[in-house]
Structure 1
Amino acid sequence: ELPWPNLVVEVAYYQTEENIMTKVQKYLLYNDRVHDVIVVKIDPVPVDQVPSRFRAWHFCVSYSRLANGNVPARNMFEFGTHDVNGGPLNFEQGTCVINIKLD
């Protein structure tokens, strides 16, 4: 058997957040297969538009586990020009806000 990698970076565009998180918990982090997983979720937009928001989560099996066995995200980062409700986050033309939640 070949060893699993220490780090996996998963980028999702069309997958739902729920689907990608299930993949992380039930496959990648299951039985500590991967030590760290970084998920980048880019919100899909119509063909003629540029994505205006994406989120990233960092999971680490050394952090902790919930009662159900899932590994909670250690960090969550949000990048973009619009919030989850579509409201603009730009303070000046061309700027973007990075919202980093540190627990």
Structure 2
Amino acid sequence: MKIKIELFELKNLLIEAATLGAEAAEKRRSPTSDRMKQREVHRWLKTLGHKPAILDKMVKEELVKPLRNGESKNSPLVYSRMEIEAALTAYKSFDSVNGI
């Protein structure tokens, strides 16, 4: 099966892949800066132009896994910024390839 993709779409996919690589390097260098609380993620997603409900969709589809900051049930959920970036990139890539 051949997949046709426009040159500018390929360029955008490569740029997004490079961005994810930079995020992964940052996570290895400073793991604590990669962690964000759920409220921070919602604010960050809004600044990127996404609805906060997309986070629930990513968790439901198991693209992103929340972790508890502590052992008690009311400790805050934290998410990996890199996992969220990768999931958003996957959505964009999936749409651009399947939109043809």
Same fold (TM over 0.5): no
Kindly indicate whether structure 1 or structure 2 has the higher relative contact order, using CA contacts under 8 Å at least 6 residues apart: 2
With the length of structure 1 as denominator, give the TM-score of the two structures. 0.22
Structure 1 or 2: larger strand share? 1
Structure 1 or 2: larger helix share? 2
With the length of structure 2 as denominator, give the TM-score of the two structures. 0.23
